[in-house]
Amino acid sequence: MESPDTDPPGAVRAAPRRPYRPAQVREAVQQAVCERCRATHTPCDAAALADALLVASELTTNAILHGGGVTDVRVDVAGPGVRVSVSDRSTELPVARAAAGPQGRLTPGGHGWPIVCLLSRDIRVRGLPAGGKCISALVPLP
């Protein structure tokens, strides 16, 4: 979605099969990152992989809960990290919710988007021609 039709040398791409569930997207991210490590003969950084898996899970879960369902997923590993792109049916932009309700009590949920923003670089949100949006986040890999 975000990458041109031709991938840079050393790029690894993975795509889960439909329907897109968080576990399937995490599996695609793990497969792509591990393939890059094998291809470059470098050890995989467990902490960076964990960050990428969490971002993938949060983007997918948010698309399911708030975006009307996942319409497409793309995982690209090249250069500085892994880019996870998740498309959904909604045109509404993600927002960070207050952690506390009106009476100062903590409320469940609302932590996904802040997690994505904390662990990712170069976050892009764009509308899609057929409706909906695509959110992509680059998670750095050492």
Question: What pLDDT shows up at residue 98?
Answer: 64
Mean pLDDT in residue range 116-133 = 96
Please provide the average confidence, as pLDDT, over all residues in the chain: 87
Q: Is the pLDDT score of 20 beyond 80?
A: yes
pLDDT recorded at residue 87: 97
Kind plus residue range of the DSSP H or E element containing 14: strand 12-14
Q: Is the pLDDT of residue 25 over 80?
A: yes
What is the model's pTM? 0.83
User: How far apart are the C-alpha atoms of 122 and 87, rounded to whole Å?
Assistant: 16
Give me the pLDDT at residue 1, please.
40
* Residues 65-120 pLDDT 10s: 999 999 999 999 988 899 999 999 999 998 876 665 666 666 667 789 999 999 99
- E strand or H helix at 106, and its extent? none
